[in-house]
Amino acid sequence: MTRRGAIVGAVLLCAIAVGAYLAQPYWMPGGGAAPESSVRARTVSVLATTAELKPVPLVVDSIGTVQTIQSVAIKSRIETMIDSVKFDDGAKVAAGDVLLTLDARQIDAQISQAEGVVVKDQAQLAGAERDLARYSDLIGKGATPQTNVDNAKTQVDTLRGTLLADQAVLENLKVQKSYTVIRAPISGRISAAAVKVGNFVRPSDNGAIASINQMAPVYVVFAVPQRYLPDLRDAMSAGTAKVIAAMPGDKKSETGKVAMIENTVDATTGMVTVRGVMDNTSETLWPGTLVSTKLIIRTEDAITVPSVAVQRSQSGDYVYVVKEGKAVTQPVTVGRTYEGRSVISAGLSGGETVVIDGQLLLSNGAAVEVRAGKAGA
């Protein structure tokens, strides 16, 4: 038994020694070359793209409000009754369209009365002018005193004044008659009618019969940080500033120009109000709604990379640049972002290959293998 145990122990020792010798390349430094699979395990597969020099607009995103340029409240200018309503609630109307007709019977009667007074005045004036002519002939023959001529002339002048006054009354009544037909003063969309046929209306009514809002063009009012004010003023002078506005969730948008900058900056927020004018011919923007706005101040050439390529650390932003099969840490300065791309103001000159996927497995100087793929995949 003792001899058998000794033999078994010797065999085990020999087996351990042989195994240790065969595993020497793996556990002893410099003991041998690592297998090819071990070399491949230390190479990181990454996705990369090229830093591009391309035109990039300087854009300021904001939230704005759509405001109508013109809004008119429709009211009656005389006291009468509504005879007919010629528009549909919420319809699009053009300037000059008939909106309502009012009862004009009372004014028609007053016009007829005034016309009769004018005819009477004209007849009286004609008689006075004949008397003046007759007395003027007689005074030349010495058959009448000068007093009669003077009185006849005074009567003519008096009747002429009366005729002018009565004609003015008639014209005023005709103007009042024109108020019985209410027309649209501007083009736009009209609201629902507050009153219908048969209602009595007067100029002193607090509420309007309806209102019209101009739909094209419209204003878009929004605020931008004051640091953009110098660039925006220069862009307005150069004519490069423009505004793009869209309602949230709507793919359609409207493009316009900057109409004005408010003459003061809000001291509490550091924001300045900007007003843009949008054509809005398709009525994409609706007065009173909130819209997403993009203020494009100018377009300039800049180095851009996908924003996913930019990494952040305590010492600042950086990207991994692939050089000779290795990932090299390159500090960069990000000026701004636009549509998923970062504008690099310092650190890259364009044409560098930057890593956009796989950065978590990288360190400075790590071996990399760039795999095929599209940016953002």
Q: Which domains does the chain have, with CATH numbers?
A: 44-56+302-370 (2.40.420.20), 60-69+213-299 (2.40.30.170), 71-103+180-212 (2.40.50.100), 104-178 (1.10.287)
Phi and psi angles of residue 61, each rounded to the nearest 5 degrees, phi first: -85, 145
CB contact at 8 A, 83 and 200: no
For 43-52, 157-166, 272-281, which range has the lowest pLDDT when averaged over its residues? Answer: 43-52
**pLDDT at position 9:** 63
Give the pLDDT confidence score for residue 29 in this predicted structure: 46
pLDDT of residue 139: 84
What tokens appear for 130 in the block? 């004949």
pLDDT of residue 341 exceeding 70: yes
Could you tell me where the DSSP H helices lie in the chain? 2-22, 24-27, 36-41, 105-141, 146-178, 229-238
Average pLDDT value for residue range 336-351: 90
- How much of the chain, in percent, has pLDDT values that exceed 70? 88
**For residue 39, pLDDT beyond 50:** no
Q: Quick one: pLDDT at residue 194?
A: 94
Residue 279 and residue 216 in contact, taking contact as beta carbons nearer than 8 Å: yes
Ranges 57-61, 110-114, 159-163: which has the least confidence: 57-61
Higher pLDDT, 137 or 274: 274
The pTM of the full predicted model, rounded to 2 decimals, is: 0.70
Mean per-residue pLDDT, 234-251: 91
pLDDT value of position 32: 45
Across the range 173-195, mean pLDDT stands at: 96
Q: What is the pLDDT of residue 15?
A: 62
Mean pLDDT value across residues 323-342: 91
| Number of other CB atoms surrounding residue 303 within 10 Å | 22
Residue 40 has pLDDT above 60, yes or no: no
**Average pLDDT over the chain, rounded to an integer:** 89
The closest alpha carbon to 184, from 72, 283, 339, 103, belongs to 72
Q: Which tens digits make up the pLDDT trace of 90-131? A: 999 999 999 999 999 999 999 999 999 999 999 999 999 999
State the Rg of the chain over Cα.
Answer: 46
Closest CA to 359 of 293, 283, 305: 305
Q: Is residue 352 predicted with pLDDT exceeding 70?
A: yes
Predicted confidence (pLDDT) per residue in 252-282, tens digit: 999 999 999 999 999 999 999 999 999 999 9
- Is the pLDDT assigned to residue 185 strictly greater than 90? yes
**Residues sharing a CB contact under 8 Å with residue 120, sequence separation 6 or more, in sequence order:** none
